[in-house]
Structure 1
Amino acid sequence: MTFLYRRHYNAPKEGTAAVNRVKEGREKRPDESRLHGPSHHTTPAPGVDLLPLLKPATGNVSSAVQHVTMPGLPASVDLDECISRLYKRELLAESVIEAICAKTKELLMRESNVVHVRAPVTVVGDIHGQFYDLIEIFKIGGWCPDTNYLFLGDYVDRGMFSVETISLLVCLKLRYPNRVTLIRGNHESRGVTQSYGFYTECSRKYGNANVWHYFTDMFDFLTLSVVINDKIFCVHGGLSPSIHSIDQIVIIDRFREIPHEGPMADLVWSDPDPERDEFSLSPRGAGYTFGAQVVKKFLAVNNMDHILRAHQLCQEGFQVLYDDRLSTVWSAPNYCYRCGNMASVLEVSDTGERFFNVFAAAPENDQHKDMQPGGEKTADGNALPDYFL
C-alpha cells in the first residue's frame, strides 16, 4: 500500500480545540497551499447536553453496542446514568466504583494478552488524567459507541482528574465492551500511581484510599497488547528482547502488578530510539530502547506491517519512525498543563490507512488554572503536590 501525507485544517468551533488531520505515510507532505478539507467528525455546539449522545447508535453498529446486561452489578447501578454523570465530571460513589471495578475484572479476565480488533478503529495514546482533553477526543473522534476506540494506557497520574477519567473509561468499557478496548500502560501500576498523583487524588477526593485499591486491583486484568486487522501491533511502550513472536506475549502471566523487569515490564516501559539499531538498556530504569533492525525483524517474524504505541511525549502530537514501520501517538495536549505540545488520535480505516487527528488542549482547562499544581490551593485550602516533573 502506498501512503501519502495529507493535512487538513478546519476552523475551530467556539469552545472546541483546533484540529489538524494528517494521513500517515512514506512520502513527504505536500505543499501547504494544496491542503484542504475539514475533519469528517462533528462537534456539539457549546452548552449542548451530552445525554442524547449516550443512546446506542443505529445502522452499522448492530449488536456490538446494544444494551449490556450486568447481572453482577447492584440493581442501583445504572451504567447509562453513571456515564451521564461522568461526562459532567461528577464523582461516582465509592460503592459504585467498587462494583464497576469488580465487574470490569470479570470482563477483562476473558480477554487474551493479545486482543484482536477489526478496523475502523480510533487509537488513543496517553491521557494522564486530563479529563477535558478526553472529552475533546470524543468530540474530535466521535462519541461512544459510534466510534470504535482503542486506548493505549496511561489513563491516570499527573493530570487533575484521574479519578473521573478512569471512571468514565471503565464505565464505557462495561457498557460497550466490543467498542472500547483498554491496554495497560506503565502507570496502571500500584508503585507508579503512589508516586505520581493517582493515590493522592483518590485519597483527597474520597477521604480514603479504597477507590485507589479498587482501580489498581482492576489494572492487573488489563490486556497487554492489541493486533488490528492482523497487521498492526499495538502496545503501550514497545518491544522486548525476550519476545520474538506474538505467541510469546499470549503466555505471559499478566494478572499481577507490573514487575520491575522481564517481558511484561518491557512491553509497557520500552521506547524506540532512532539512533540505535538493536536493544539497549533504557534510561528510564525499566524496559529497553530499540532501533530499526529490531522493528524490522519483529514485523517480519510476525507477518505484520506496523507498530503503534504511546508512552512518549511528542510535541506535534505524534511521531513516525523507521520508514513508516512504527508510530507514536500522544493524546495529552499541553501535557501537565505546561508543556505546550499538541496531541493526536490515530484513525485506522478499514483498509488499513492511518490518519492522525491533531488537536490542541481543551479550552475548559483554562477554567481550572487555580487548581493546577505549583503551589496553588484547592477549594479546601490544601496545597496540591507537584507531580509534574
Structure 2
Amino acid sequence: MDSDECMSKVKGGHHILEGQLQLLCEYVKGILIEESNVQPVNSPVTVCGDIHGQFHDLMKLFQTAGQACIPNLDKHLYIIPFQHYITSGNHESRQLTQVYEFYDECQRKYGNANAWRYCTDVFDYLALSAIIDGTVLCVHGGLSPDIRTIDQIRIIERNCEIPHEGPFCDLMWSDPEDIEIWAAVHVEQFNHVNNLDLVCRAHQLVQEGLKYMFQDKGLVTVWSAPNYCYRCGNVASILSFNENMEREVKFFTETEENNKMSGPRSGVPYFL
C-alpha cells in the first residue's frame, strides 16, 4: 500500500479504496495492540479534545498545534511530537456508529459494510487514556467511582465493545458532578493519590473551547471541534505542554470550508 497516495487522496477529499482501508486498519491494529491502557507520553506535547469528524477543522488543528499534538477521538483526546497518540472516546463503538451515520456512510461510499467493520475493529484496540510525564492524565470522559488509582485503569480489558456500565464505561461517558466521584473534592483526592497535577478530558461542548471545571484547576475540559455540528458557534482549543510542563492554550475557529456547511444536517460524515 502506498501511504503517500492514500494521504494525497484523503487530503484531496476522496476516500481510499476498500482494500487500502483494510490494510491500513490492520497496520494500525498492530501498533495499538502494543500500547498500554494508560499510554505514557513525554512532553512537549499538545492535548486535543473532540473533533467529531470535522475534517477541515482537524487540518486546521494540526496547523495550529505545529509539531506537537494527543486527539481524543470521539468522533474523538490526542498527541504529536512527530507522533500521534489516540485514545478512545465514547463514539468509538459499533452501536453508536450505527446511530450517528458512520455505518450508513460506509454503505453509501463503499457499497457494503466492510469499511465500517474494519474501522470498528480498530476501536477495540484504542488506549483508554494517556499520561504525560507521569503528572497529567488524559481521558475522554472522566473518572469513575470504581477507580481510585491509575493502576486500576491499566488492568481493564479493553479489547471489546464499550460496556453500558462499570469503570470502562465511566472513563468514556462520565461528566463532572454527574456521579458522586466527580465533585471537586473527589478530583482533588484522585489527583493526590496518583500524584497528578491535572486531569484533561473532553466529551462536553464548552463554548469557550477550554474550561477548568473546579476552583483548584485540577480538571480541565478541552474541546477541539469549532462551531460544533456546523451550528453551535463555539470556538475550539488545544492545550500545549512544553518540556517544563508549562501550559499554553491555543484557540481556533472553523475553517471556511466548514463554514459553508452550515445549516440543517442530519449528522456529521466520517468520510468526506
Q: For 1:231 and 1:243, how far apart are their aligned partners in 2?
A: 17
Higher relative contact order (CA 8 A, sep 6+): 2
Of the three residues 19, 34, 37, the one matched with 1:95 is 19
CA distance in structure 1 between the aligned counterparts of 2:205 and 2:219, rounded to whole angstroms: 15
How far apart, in 1, do the equivalents of 2:81 and 2:158 lie?
A: 20
Q: What is the CA-CA distance between 1:197 and the residue it aligns to?
A: 1.7
Question: 2: distance between equivalents of 1:365 and 1:112?
Answer: 35
1:151 to 62, 65, 71: 71
CA RMSD of aligned residues (A): 2.0
Q: Give me the whole-angstrom Cα distance separating, in 1, the residues matched to 2:247 and 2:14.
A: 34
Give the corresponding residue for 2:47. Answer: 123
State how many pairs are aligned. 266
Residues 368, 338 of structure 1: alpha-carbon distance in 2 compared, 3 angstrom cutoff: closer
Give yes or no for the alignment of 1:335 onto 2:255.
no
Distance in 1 (CA, whole Å) between partners of 2:4 and 2:244 is 33
Q: How far apart, CA to CA, are the structure 1 residues paired with 2:250 and 2:43? A: 16
Task: Please name the residue that 2:257 is paired with.
Answer: 364
Distance of 1:203 and 1:373 partners within structure 2: 22
After TM superposition, the score normalised by the length of structure 2 is: 0.92
Distance in 2, Cα, partners of 1:90 & 1:356: 32
Q: Give me the whole-angstrom Cα distance separating, in 2, the residues matched to 1:203 and 1:351.
A: 47
1:209 paired with 2:129, answer no
User: Which amino acid counterpart does residue 327 of structure 1 have in structure 2?
Assistant: V
> Which position in structure 2 is the counterpart of 1:41?
none
Gaps of 5+ in 2: none
The counterpart of 2:202, out of the listed 310, 316, 326, is 310
Local SS of the residue matching 1:299: helix
Aligned positions of 1:7-22 closer than 5 A? none
Q: CA deviation at 1:213?
A: 0.7
1:351 is aligned to: 244
Displacement of 1:366 = 3.4
CA deviation vs aligned residue, 1:255-292 (integer Å, no higher than 9, x gap): 0100001110110101113xx8xx34xxxxxxxx7110
Matched with 2:183 is 291
Percent of aligned positions with the same letter in both sequences? 49
Q: Distance in 2 between matches of 1:356 and 1:198?
A: 31
Structure 2 CA distance for partners of 1:177 and 1:361, relative to 1, 3 Å:
closer
SS at match of 2:251: strand
The answer to whether structure 1 residue 245 and structure 2 residue 149 are counterparts is yes
Q: Which residue does 1:113 correspond to in 2?
A: 37
Counterpart for residue 101 of structure 2: 197
Q: Deviations over 1:346-385 (max 9, x none)?
A: 111111112111111111113445xx644xxxxxxxxxxx
Aligned pair 1:135/2:135, yes or no?
no
How big is the shift at 1:129?
A: 0.8
Larger Rg: 1
CA distance in structure 2 between the partners assigned to 1:319 and 1:117 by the alignment: 23
- The match for 2:3 is 79
2:176 aligned to 272, 276, 299, which one?
272
Task: Give 1:73's aligned residue.
Answer: none
Alpha-carbon distance in structure 2 between the residues aligned to 1:189 and 1:359: 28
Asked whether 1:182 is paired with 2:106, we answer: no
> What is the alpha-carbon distance in structure 1 between the residues aligned to residue 52 and residue 59 of structure 2?
13
Structure 2: distance between partners of 1:248 and 1:187: 23
2:129 matches 1:225: yes
Deviation of 1:181 after TM superposition, in Å, equals 0.2
Distance 2:128 2:11 in 1: 27
User: AA paired with 1:351?
Assistant: N
Task: Please give the per-residue CA displacement for 1:73-100, whole angstroms capped at 9, x wherever unaligned.
Answer: xxxx121222222222221101111111
CA-to-partner distance for each residue in 1:23-68, whole Å, 9 max, x for gaps? xxxxxxxxxxxxxxxxxxxxxxxxxxxxxxxxxxxxxxxxxxxxxx
Cα 1:149/1:199, change in 2 over 3 Å:
same
1:298 Cα deviation (Å)? 0.6
Q: What's the offset of the Cα at 1:149?
A: 2.2
